[in-house]
Each structure stands twice: as C-alpha cells, then as structure tokens.
Structure 1
Amino acid sequence: MLLLALTCAVAVGNLYFAQALTPLAAAGLGVSPDAAALAVTATQVGYAAGNFLLVPLGDRLPHRRLLATLLGLTGLGLLGAGLAPTLPLLVAASAAAGLTSVAAPVIGPLVAGLVAPDRRGEVSGLLASGSIGGMLLSRAFGGSLAETLGWRAPYLVAAAVILLLAWVVTRALPATPPPPTARGSYLALLAAPVRLLRAEPELRRSAFYQGTVFAGFSGVWTGLALLLAGPVYGLGAPAVGLLALVGAATMICTPYAGRLTDRRGPDPVNLICLLGTLAAAPVLAVGTLGGAAGIAGLVVGTLLLDVAMQCGMVANTTRIYALRDDARSSLTTAYMTCAYLGGSAGSWLGARAWEAAGWPGVCGLLAVCATAALARHGAAVRGAPEGECSGS
C-alpha cells in the first residue's frame, strides 16, 4: 500500500511541477512565458484525455502490466520533455506525459480488488494522502531543482524516478488477471462510463456530490488569487502558493475519513464533509476584512474546504467501488469526468461571481454548491430503505 501511495504521489506530482518551471523554460528556449505555459496546459489536457481513453482499460487488462506500462510511457514522455530542443517538442512531450500520468485512477480500482470490502475506505484514504502530498510538494521540488540545475533537471529526475517505479511495480505487485466478463471492442469500453452513469444511481449521486463540491472549491481558488492580488491585501501569486500549503493537513485527515467510512458507511462521512463545505463559506467570507483577521479567515476556511472535499472524495470512491466488481475502472472514469467538469464550471463561475459581487459573491457560490449537494444528500437518505444509505 505504501508503494502504491508513493506511486500516486509521483504520478500526480508530474501534473504540477512544471508550473514552477515556466519562466526558466521560457528563458532557456528563447520564448515568452505565455508561450512556455503551453507545456503546462498540454500536460493537463493530456491527463484529461488519459482519464477517458486509458483508465477504462483497467477493466480489460491485468492491472500490474497496465500500471507498469503507463509508468514506463510517462517516464519516456518526461525524458523527451527534459531533452526537448524547441517549444513545440516540449509541448508534445508534455502532452504525452500527461496522457499516461493516470496511475492514480488506475491504482484505486486495483486496490479495491486486492483488499477486503471493509478496508476499502482505509486504503482509499491512504492513496488520497499520497496524491495530495505529490500535488503539494511537486511545485517546491520543481522550482528548487530548476533554480539550482536548470529547467530541464526536474523533468530528467522525475523521468528517472518514475522509470524506477515502473520496474519496482513489476516486481512487487501481485499478478491480477483481467475480469473474466470483460468482452467487447475498445469503443464499447469507452462507452461504458456513460452506460454506468445511466444504470447506477449511486454513481450519479457520488458524481453529483464531487462535481458540486469541486465546483465550489475551484471557484474559491479562482477568486482567491484575485482577492490576494487586489487592494485589500496587495499580495502576489506566491501568497496563493503558500496558502495552498495549508492543505498539507489533509494528508492526515483522509486516512481517518477512510477508516470512518469503513465503520459507518460513506453517507455519514459525506454528510459531515458537505456540512464542512457549507461552513467554510462564512469562514472564508471573513477574508473581506483584510489584515490579520482576514488572513486567519482565509487560512481556516481553505483548510476546512480542502479537508471536506478530499475526505468526501474518499467516501464517494468507496461507494462506487462497491457497485460493480467488473467495472471499477469505468466507474472511476465516469466519476472523475463529472468531478472535473464540475471543477471547470466552478472556475468559470468563480470568475463571474467575482466580477458581479467580489469575494462575498465567490463565497456565496461555494454556499450554493454545498447547499445543492446537501439537498441531494437529504433526498437520497429520505428515499432509501432503512439502513441502505448507511453502507454499500
């Protein structure tokens, strides 16, 4: 489990460390920073495509071989990015690395099939801790190494680490055969997430929770950058990065949320997390005061929001992994697609809320998202037979 959590950390970190390299890469390649930022965009676009095109293969191929192949291809993509002589080649290599950096959503269904059902929440929390750690630490890793050894060094070091992990995975993970019921064409496999969304109400419910909460989360961070850079605080982008480090505490909370999910079921954890998301809105609104009180409100509010979102994800994934043993990867694809669509919509709505009503409008958007999810949760609990919503 620790090896898989480390693999999640490294794979997720590959999506973020390049954000700290943009100015140095621009200078090294003789292009503008805006142009160099295309490499970061290409990585994110590649990752979104990989979730749709590659993650469902976990329902068709042996997980160990699939995971090792994805890690190996990611390593080659990072190696190509580190050696790229021109920006177009860097963008292409970054897109290829992002496309195959889907180890985390492949590992989740793998682990769900390796452990007992009453431990799925616990291991999901552990994997979430690894992903959060990789996301938070990767920018510091990339920036520090690039300042010392140049912008290519983080790519080359990351390539070496992930290629080593690919080799270790082939030695350490148990061999798991593909599901015996997996049949049909690749196109049919790509259509499976849509079919599952139609057929599984609990999948739709989990996806709705995560989509709405992630929308509020993304809207808050979109507005937060504008708030900190505005006249109330007069701070720059580094302040946003420092505030994001508050989320490191989430690494401690997600394993506990997983164990609680195993004991009580996902619904009580979802309820606590949705209430925490709603409570974060008035706490964050204190940020309009500025000064020490405003900063305190932003720190506590972002921490509460981050913990609520990540712990809620642990409960949601535990619920969906219990639905279909033969389609966990397709379930993951459907769930993650809805979550990212919600996050994208939230970023756009956050900017609109800022334009219309400033920071209070952004906090209001978060409250609306949390209220919608709570209303859906209440309807589900009231409509389920007694005891059904307390577990899978």
Structure 2
Amino acid sequence: MQPPNFTQEAVAEQAAGLPRSIALLFAVACGLAVANMYYAHPLLEAIAGEFAIGRAYVGIIVTAGQICYAIGLLLLVPLGDLFDRRKLVAGMMVSSVFGLLAVGAAPNAAVLLAGMAAVGLFAVVVQALVAFAADLAPPEARGRAIGTVTSGVVIGILLARVYAGMLSELAGWRTVYLVSAALMLCMAGVLLKVLPRRTIRAQAAVSYTRLVRSLFVLFAEEPQLRIRAVLCLLIFTAFSILWTSMVLPLSAPPYSLSRTAIGLFGLAGAAGAFAAAKAGRLADRGLGRRTTGWALILLLGSWLLIGQLGHSLPSLVAGVIVLDLAVQAVHVTNQSAILALRPEARSRLTAGYMMFYSIGSAAGSIASTMVYARWGWSGVCLLGASVSAAALLFWAIAGRKRHAA
C-alpha cells in the first residue's frame, strides 16, 4: 500500500522561503510548548511529597506525559499533511491549556496524572511546527531552519527547569503550570494571526485511518527513517536518564540543593542550543553522518564526567554541557535527513521519528528512578553509558551496511 499522494501548494517551496521573524516565532512557540513536558523534573520531590508517591515510582509523573506524547505523535501530527497547519497548531496549543490547568488545580494523584497526560498529548504541537518550518524553508537552507527551531526547543527544555525551580520556590509548584497555561493561550492567538495559510488539497478523499496507516508504510519503505528513529530512541533514553534522576541526588545530602538551584543546572545545557544551530548548517553541507558520529562519541564520554557527581559538581556541569550538545547535534542531523526524504509526508515523517523520542524518554524516566532507588547514582551512570554505547555501536553498524549495499 502506498502512502496517500497529495498534490498541494504546501509541497512547493515558496520563493520567499522562511522569513527569520517567522523562524524565531516558531522557535519561541516550540520552547513554550516543550517546556510543559519538563517543568516536573526539578519539582518531582515536591509533587511526589504532596501526593504521597514513592521515590521508586516518582518517574511515573514524567512518564505519563511521555506516553501520551507518543500517542499524540501517532494520532495528531499526521493531520498536518491533510489540514491547514495554521489552525491545527493553534488548536493543539489551546487544548494544552486545559491539561495545564488540570495539573495546576489537581486535588489528587489521579487528576495530576490525567493532566500530565493531556499536556503530553498536545505538546506534539512542537513537531507540527518543525514540519511546518521544513515545508516553508528552501532545500538549501532547510537544515539551518530546523536548527533554528530546534534551538528554541533546547532553550525551552533548559529554561523550563530554571523557571520551574525559581517560581515554585516563590509561589509553589502549581503556579508553574497555571502561568504556563496563560502563556500558551496568548501564543495560540499570536500564531493564529501570524502564521501563513498552507492549504493542502488531496487528489482524492483520504480517510484519517489511511493517513495514520501510511505512517507505518513510510517505515517499511525508508531505511533512513528506520535508522534515524532508532538513534532517536537511544539518545533520548540517555537524555532522560540524566535529567529525570539528577534531581534525586542533588536534593539529598550532602548537597541538599533547593529547587531553584537544581533548576539552574538547566543553564549548563545551553550548549545544546548552539549545537543545534551548528549541526543544521553542517547537515546543509552534506556532513550530517559525520556530525552524528562525533556527537555520539561525545555522548558516551559525557558519562565519565557525570559519574563524578559524588565528588565534584563542576564535573557534573561539564558532563551536562557535553551530553546536551551531543544529543541536540544528533537530533538535528536526524531531522534534516528524514525531512528531505518525502516533502509531501513531512508531518508523518516527523511523527514517526518522534514516536521513538517519546518511547526513549519514557523508558529513560521510569528506568532511571528505579535504578537510582536500588543502585544509586553509579547505577544510573552505568545505565546511561550503556545506552549511549549502544547508540554509537548501532550507528557504526548501520553505516557499514549502507556502504556495503
């Protein structure tokens, strides 16, 4: 079965390309949306304490959103290949507001997890925006456009921890989500007014079921998509292993850091934003695979520094910088590679790829807290290093097979 064939104005590259002002707006919108998934990281102790969630299972707070993020990727993002992305993006942002309000007002753990699930489901607006940006950008600048938008994602992830830690200290953790709901509502209005209309006309009526089913056909037909998706799963498993569990040793003796101080560790990963922009430019020059390889080597090496947490906070900071730089470099080269495959299916390609991000993030979140509860920080670092080594080995084997073919 072939994926639906579209003849659409959206596929044709616009002469005007992607104006820098729109690219920056995309980056800000992505930053706000993705931050909703990461506010909980420095707040885990406070949230778990209020709802009596055991330390070994505290990762479920993050995992609930990640699982529903994967569902949103499958069921919502492909709609960008069928409907006006402008309205789709604004609608998902407004829907996320209700999830944020549920978290901020949750009276018990069940409502909290339901709100986190809704937040995760509609946070996939980030991927709709990435596909939108790739569609607007001319081929020779697509990597740079993706890098710019992804820089916003990286900054959103990092500042989410700083913002959540500081605001929760001042006004409680619930305020973090209530303020975010207001910001998302404002951004939805701005996007609806500013984003260009991208009308997509299908040659024949295409059912929603067929549209979703075609996503799996893309996996069967595109080996590059399969390779990059597996890399995505592994790097974001490693990423989540660090960021979900790091709050536990930092908040315990001998450090006993406040939520604000823990949130500031997010600033250490700012290098990831620069890596995203640089990796996009390298991908435009045809150096995507080489960039991926070096980044994976850095990812593995970062765990040597992260493992020094018990002896040196500066070593942890250095390790966080290296890990974030490596993960974002691989992520951007992955996206540049897959979004060049089929212009008419960019939303579905993005959705399929990012499903592996969600699976990896969820697995890393729940596994890291369980490992920490039993084997401490050394066990977490060994887990992260093993996943990173698996990513490097997979990249080497996959590259060798492609060259031998």
| Fold conserved between structures, TM > 0.5 | yes
Q: Give the 3 Å change call, closer, same or farther, for CA 229–170 of structure 1 in structure 2.
A: closer
> Following TM superposition, by how much is the alpha carbon of 1:309 offset from its aligned partner in structure 2, in angstroms?
0.6
Find the counterpart in structure 1 of residue 10 from structure 2.
Answer: none
Matches within 5 A, 1:19-98: 32=51, 34=53, 43-79=65-101, 82=104, 92-98=114-120
Q: Give the 3 Å change call, closer, same or farther, for CA 204–22 of structure 1 in structure 2.
A: closer
Find the counterpart in structure 2 of residue 174 from structure 1.
Answer: 196
> Following TM superposition, by how much is the alpha carbon of 1:365 offset from its aligned partner in structure 2, in angstroms?
3.8
Matches within 5 A, 1:248-259: 248-259=270-281
Find the counterpart in structure 1 of residue 20 from structure 2.
Answer: none
Q: Give the 3 Å change call, closer, same or farther, for CA 368–89 of structure 1 in structure 2.
A: closer
> Following TM superposition, by how much is the alpha carbon of 1:183 offset from its aligned partner in structure 2, in angstroms?
5.0
> Following TM superposition, by how much is the alpha carbon of 1:322 offset from its aligned partner in structure 2, in angstroms?
0.8
Question: Alpha-carbon deviations, 1:323-370, whole Å to 9, x = none?
Answer: 111221221222112223233444555567668876555444444433
| Correspondence for 1:163 among 182, 185, 189 | 185
Amino acid at match of 1:119: A
Q: Does residue 328 in structure 1 map to residue 346 in structure 2?
A: yes
Matches within 5 A, 1:253-268: 253-268=275-290
Indicate the SS of the match to 1:161: helix
Q: Give the 3 Å change call, closer, same or farther, for CA 237–82 of structure 1 in structure 2.
A: closer
> Following TM superposition, by how much is the alpha carbon of 1:202 offset from its aligned partner in structure 2, in angstroms?
0.2
Using structure 2 for the length normalisation, give the TM-score.
Answer: 0.79
Percent identity between matched residues is 37
Question: Alpha-carbon deviations, 1:158-204, whole Å to 9, x = none?
Answer: 23322222222122111112263685322222333322222210011
Amino acid at match of 2:360: G
Find the counterpart in structure 2 of residue 376 from structure 1.
Answer: 394
Matches within 5 A, 1:257-296: 257-285=279-307, 287=308, 290-291=310-311, 294-296=312-314
Q: Give the 3 Å change call, closer, same or farther, for CA 74–351 of structure 1 in structure 2.
A: closer
Amino acid at match of 1:175: R
* In 2: Cα distance, 1:307 partner to 1:265 partner: 17
* In 1: Cα distance, 2:385 partner to 2:61 partner: 34
Checking the alignment, whether the CA contact within 8 Å between 1:18 and 1:40 is kept in structure 2 is yes
Q: Give the 3 Å change call, closer, same or farther, for CA 223–265 of structure 1 in structure 2.
A: same
Checking the alignment, whether the CA contact within 8 Å between 1:63 and 1:178 is kept in structure 2 is no
Q: Give the 3 Å change call, closer, same or farther, for CA 16–211 of structure 1 in structure 2.
A: closer
Amino acid at match of 1:171: K
Q: Give the 3 Å change call, closer, same or farther, for CA 107–267 of structure 1 in structure 2.
A: same
* Bigger shift: residues 177-186 or 257-266: 177-186
* In 1: Cα distance, 2:298 partner to 2:213 partner: 35
Indicate the SS of the match to 1:264: coil
* In 2: Cα distance, 1:274 partner to 1:119 partner: 24
> Following TM superposition, by how much is the alpha carbon of 1:66 offset from its aligned partner in structure 2, in angstroms?
0.7
Kindly indicate whether structure 1 or structure 2 has the higher relative contact order, using CA contacts under 8 Å at least 6 residues apart.
2
* Bigger shift: residues 51-60 or 146-155: 146-155
| Correspondence for 2:225 among 200, 203, 207 | 203
- What runs of 5+ residues in structure 2 fail to find an aligned partner? 1-22
Q: Does residue 343 in structure 1 map to residue 361 in structure 2?
A: yes
Checking the alignment, whether the CA contact within 8 Å between 1:39 and 1:91 is kept in structure 2 is yes
Indicate the SS of the match to 2:304: helix
Find the counterpart in structure 2 of residue 311 from structure 1.
Answer: 329
> Following TM superposition, by how much is the alpha carbon of 1:106 offset from its aligned partner in structure 2, in angstroms?
0.7
Q: Give the 3 Å change call, closer, same or farther, for CA 87–257 of structure 1 in structure 2.
A: same
Amino acid at match of 2:53: D
Using structure 1 for the length normalisation, give the TM-score.
Answer: 0.81
> Following TM superposition, by how much is the alpha carbon of 1:296 offset from its aligned partner in structure 2, in angstroms?
3.0
Q: Give the 3 Å change call, closer, same or farther, for CA 182–208 of structure 1 in structure 2.
A: farther
* In 2: Cα distance, 1:81 partner to 1:208 partner: 32
> Following TM superposition, by how much is the alpha carbon of 1:217 offset from its aligned partner in structure 2, in angstroms?
3.0
* In 2: Cα distance, 1:166 partner to 1:127 partner: 17
* In 2: Cα distance, 1:152 partner to 1:15 partner: 14
Q: Give the 3 Å change call, closer, same or farther, for CA 344–25 of structure 1 in structure 2.
A: closer
* Bigger shift: residues 94-103 or 309-318: 94-103
Amino acid at match of 1:246: A
Question: Alpha-carbon deviations, 1:247-281, whole Å to 9, x = none?
Answer: 12322221111111111332121112111112223
Q: Give the 3 Å change call, closer, same or farther, for CA 346–156 of structure 1 in structure 2.
A: closer
Find the counterpart in structure 1 of residue 11 from structure 2.
Answer: none
- What runs of 5+ residues in structure 1 fail to find an aligned partner? none
| Correspondence for 1:111 among 130, 133, 154 | 133
Q: Give the 3 Å change call, closer, same or farther, for CA 234–124 of structure 1 in structure 2.
A: same
* In 2: Cα distance, 1:144 partner to 1:279 partner: 31
RMSD: 3.6
* Bigger shift: residues 132-141 or 322-331: 132-141
* In 2: Cα distance, 1:226 partner to 1:158 partner: 25
* In 2: Cα distance, 1:83 partner to 1:283 partner: 39
